[in-house]
Amino acid sequence: MKTITLLLFIIIPFIGFPQDSDLIYVPDQNTLVATYNNNYNSIGLYIGGYVTTSLPNPYIYTTPVSRLNRIGISLTNHKISLMGGVFMENYVDKVKFKPDVWVKVYPLRILTNTEKGFDFVLAINYMDSVRYGVGVLIPFN
| pLDDT value of residue 69 | 85
pLDDT number for residue 18: 53
Would you give the DSSP letter of residue 27?
A: T
Whole-angstrom Cα distance, residue 57 to residue 34?
26
Domain that holds residue 6: 2-139
Cβ atoms within 10 A of the Cβ of 59, count? Answer: 5
Q: pTM of this prediction?
A: 0.75
pLDDT attached to residue 122:
93
Percent of the chain with pLDDT over 70: 75
CA distance 63 to 68: 9
- Stretches where the chain sits below pLDDT 50 are none
Integer Cα distance of 35 and 133 in angstroms: 13
Question: What is the predicted pLDDT for the residue at 24?
Answer: 92
Query: What's the pLDDT score for residue 141?
Result: 63
Q: What is the number of domains present in the chain?
A: 1
